[in-house]
Structure 1
Amino acid sequence: MWMEQQRSPSGSSQSPRSPSAQPYLLVSVTDPVKLGNGVQAYISYRVIAKTNFPEYLGPEKIVIRRYSDFVWLHDRLFENYKGVFIPPLPEKSAVEKFRFSAEFIEMRRQALDIFVNRIASHHELRQSEDLRTFLQVDEEVMERLRSYETGIFKKPADLMQIFKDVQSRVTDVVLGKEKPVEESHPEYEKMKHYIFELENHLAEAQKQAYRLVKRHRELGKSLSDFGNAVKLLGACEENAIGKAFSELGAKSELVSAKLQKEAHELLMHFEEPLKDYVRAVQSIKATIADRGIAFRQQCELAETIKLKEINLDKLMLTRSDKVRDAEIEYREVSHFT
């Protein structure tokens, strides 16, 4: 048991939090509950973390989290761990009638459980302070963090600056003032091509899986309707024909139930895993995009350093009184390399 002492092979007792114990972090997302009404309604989850990591407050912690809290964790990790593959989140359903269906809630619970356990099993992400926060703080603290640290509530001035930066960048490219810098390496290009092709193939497979599930459900529904109709017809007959109709209707309903069960199994064990693979590939593409941004920034920094160096050399040749300022600027820029 979790709270019991473990015994070493020699037979001596060993505390789960002792230095010699095998480090572990196990997380489970359970007990989805609908809270609130109307547009304010949401699903909460019980998140249970069990660990012997000394950074955690205790061997077991139970907190209540909602979907937006998982989004907060994902976004924080994506921001703080550039170049690291961040596991994907399940998509958010915008269709009200599906958002609170038992099937959708269970699919999301499983996907969130996979998401957080992938983080917990990653050698670098599992050490994240954001993960510790997510797994330990109470709901009020989590709500404040979600409100003020996700960047959702940016000031209008910040948004305008972002727009101006993008507009300026696009204008420079269009006018030929700046050419987009792209990393060019045979192995890297081969890997990118593979990822893009893989996404297309997985997306097509997921589409076919969706059609297969839909077909099973529609066929099951049709057989159920047929069975009900035939049973009603059989009830109108009192002879052997009526009995045959009733038996046919019952058999149709049995086959319908079997098809509906198969549709659910296909959804959970075929379509949903494919959707998860598609999301994973999309997360890899996001990491690739971040790498591209970092590469361009590195090239821009190298160009800036080169220009600063040329400017400094010119000033030193002319013995300008601006040499000292130029040296300071050059050292400041070089510090980032």
Structure 2
Amino acid sequence: MFNASMPTSPGSMVNQCKFEEDEESDSKDIFITVDNPESHVTAIETFITYRVLTKTTRSEFDNSEYEVRRRYQDFLWLKGKLEDAHSTLIVHPLPEKFVVKGMVERFNGDFIETRRKALHKFLNRIADHPILSCSEDFKVFLSAQAWELTTYKKQGPGFLSRMGETVRAVANSVRGVKNRPEEFTAIQEYVEDFSNKIGSLDKVTQRIVKEQKEYLEELKEYGPTYTLWSGSEEELAEQLKGVAGCIERCCKETEEQVGHLSDTLVPVLHEYVLCAETLKAVLRRRDNIQAEFEAKNEALATKKVDRDALKEEIDKLEDRVEWANNALKGDWGRWQRSMRGDLKSAFLSTAEKNVDYYEKVRYKIL
């Protein structure tokens, strides 16, 4: 049924989204800012660190404010730890380590700023999560100084332990799951479909931005030609200068529109391309847990010795499967709400900017 109070214009709908976000922020108890990137050059490598500022009212923190510096590999470590501890929770993706697109320089200012924004969003997604935000690893990441974090990292599971987990995961993946619940099959089909669609949108949008930038560069060369021409055509001078002025104003509006696409739509689309891959990995891990449980049950049916020990192991695996399923179901709904809010805001903002752009360009031409 149509709701008469629903905002009807793109601008009012975007403002409504922002208002809802402000309401949610009232219940937050941890706020994180990633800023101030710095370049570091050593004899071995060159890398960027980012300042991470945290303000919190949580009792488990010793202080209410923290300031630390972190490099990309620290964020990567945190993501890995969260995924290891909570294999079927959806940990927000990090930006890729390298950008091949056009061989972009890794220490280019635009690249660093784009990465900073993505790292900022990554940490705040974790901070908003009811389970991940309570992780001890997350607390250490936000509060420990660099040398303390290095020491803490060394306390993790050893190489052989990690190898054993990897071997089991591969074995379960090869074995496959036999009786996946229908709801997870439906989620998997949705994710595959979503991945294909968001991937296509991402590629097309990036191609549009590239072509628009090329068009803009040509447009910038186009205007001055009319200005030069006006100097040798007295009778057409006024009209030629008018065309040059119109092109100059169109250049300005086009530059703003391309910048908006690059800053607003492209990052969100690509972020959810990465999210789709994260979801596929989570679903694989859920299947691996169930596959291990099924394999142990089959072994129990054929094994004649050590049945009590095996039964105890199966009971633990059954609990693990149940926890994994419940965790994923809860996170799935949370992820969908977040995804739809992000894409809705980006699409509405882009539509509003496009309308504004074409109205201004049309007005300037007329």
TM-score (norm 1): 0.74
Q: How does 1:191-210 map to 2 (within 5 A)?
A: 191-210=187-206
The alpha-carbon distance between structure 1 residues 256 and 197, as it changes in their structure 2 partners (threshold 3 A), is same
The alpha-carbon distance between structure 1 residues 39 and 241, as it changes in their structure 2 partners (threshold 3 A), is farther
- 1:83/1:291 contact within 8 Å kept: yes
- 1:69/1:146 contact within 8 Å kept: no
Are 2:196 and 1:189 aligned?
no
Tell me the residue number matched to 1:141: 148
Are 2:68 and 1:68 aligned?
no
Selected match of 1:216 from 194, 212, 215: 212
Higher helix share: 2
Are 2:303 and 1:296 aligned?
no
Distance 2:288 2:34 in 1: 34
Instruction: Tell me by how many angstroms 1:193 deviates.
Output: 0.6
Tell me the residue number matched to 1:92: 97
Q: How does 1:245-264 map to 2 (within 5 A)?
A: 245=240, 248-264=243-259
Instruction: Tell me by how many angstroms 1:34 deviates.
Output: 2.6
The alpha-carbon distance between structure 1 residues 164 and 253, as it changes in their structure 2 partners (threshold 3 A), is same
Tell me the residue number matched to 1:53: 58
- 1:28/1:113 contact within 8 Å kept: yes
Selected match of 1:80 from 85, 108, 112: 85
- 2:293/2:314 contact within 8 Å kept: no
- 1:26/1:120 contact within 8 Å kept: yes
Distance 1:232 1:142 in 2: 62
Larger relative contact order (Cα-Cα within 8 Å, sequence gap ≥ 6) = 2
Selected match of 1:123 from 127, 130, 140: 130
Selected match of 1:275 from 270, 273, 298: 270
Q: Deviations over 1:228-277 (max 9, x none)?
A: 44445556x38455665555445434322322221110122111111112
Instruction: Tell me by how many angstroms 1:144 deviates.
Output: 4.8
Amino acid at match of 1:117: N
TM-score (norm 2): 0.68
The alpha-carbon distance between structure 1 residues 37 and 250, as it changes in their structure 2 partners (threshold 3 A), is farther
Amino acid at match of 1:219: Y
Instruction: Tell me by how many angstroms 1:192 deviates.
Output: 1.1
Aligned residue pair count: 290
SS, match of residue 50 in structure 1:
strand
Amino acid at match of 2:123: V
5+ residue gaps, structure 1 = 1-20, 174-178, 313-325
Distance 2:221 2:157 in 1: 49
Q: Deviations over 1:43-84 (max 9, x none)?
A: 221111110111112111011111111111111101111211
Tell me the residue number matched to 1:26: 31
SS, match of residue 56 in structure 1:
coil
SS, match of residue 76 in structure 1:
helix
Are 2:223 and 1:227 aligned?
yes
State which structure, 1 or 2, has the greater radius of gyration over its C-alpha atoms. Answer: 1
Distance 2:46 2:226 in 1: 41
Instruction: Tell me by how many angstroms 1:202 deviates.
Output: 0.8
Amino acid at match of 2:249: L
The alpha-carbon distance between structure 1 residues 102 and 37, as it changes in their structure 2 partners (threshold 3 A), is farther
Q: Deviations over 1:89-148 (max 9, x none)?
A: 111224464322222222211111111101001000110001001101112233455678
Tell me the residue number matched to 2:40: 35
- 1:182/1:292 contact within 8 Å kept: no
